[in-house]
């Protein structure tokens, strides 16, 4: 799916598992290994991922360029979101964006998923589709 979007020149911010692989230079690494090697405090920037039911959803973010982009003017990267609680849980996202895209814009794009899922859930509930079962 990512390759199709890239061929069409369509950017994305896509959540990925720690088991996914990325190329950093000439080495292929698991996302989980990269997350464990991230600095504790240096390099992180605090941004909101959008408004939530209890106010702004703030996280710490960092961006790592990976997998050199196939198209001029575009870059691939690994966007990492770190929670602010004591556990500091991290979520990783593959990105394909125009060069110069700000970290703030990437954070908002990653946070848009929450609103989209909420809208789908509300629509399913209002239309009764959350209780509909199809049998074949």
Q: How many residues does the chain have?
A: 136
Contact 106, 94 (CB under 8 A): no
Query: What are the structure tokens assigned to 92, written together?
Result: 């990783």
63 has pLDDT over 70:
yes
Residue 108: what pLDDT?
A: 86
Cα 126 from Cα 122, distance rounded (Å) = 6
36 has pLDDT over 70:
yes
Q: Is 32 exposed, middle or buried (0-12, 13-18, 19+ CB in 10 A)?
A: middle
Query: What are the structure tokens assigned to 62, written together?
Result: 């960092």
């Amino acid at each position: 799916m990512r390759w199709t979007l890239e061929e069409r020149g369509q950017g994305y911010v896509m959540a990925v598992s720690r088991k996914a692989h990325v190329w950093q230079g000439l080495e292929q690494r698991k996302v989980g290994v990269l997350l464990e090697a991230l600095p504790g405090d240096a390099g992180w920037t605090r941004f909101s991922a959008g408004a939530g039911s209890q106010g702004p959803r703030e996280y710490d973010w960092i961006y790592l360029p990976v997998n050199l982009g196939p198209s001029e003017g575009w870059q691939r990267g690994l966007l990492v979101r770190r929670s602010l609680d004591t556990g500091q849980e991290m979520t990783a996202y593959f990105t394909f964006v125009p060069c110069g895209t700000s970290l703030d814009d990437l954070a908002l794009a990653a946070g848009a998923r929450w609103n989209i899922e909420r809208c789908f859930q509300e629509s399913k509930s209002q239309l009764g589709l959350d209780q509909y079962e199809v049998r074949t």
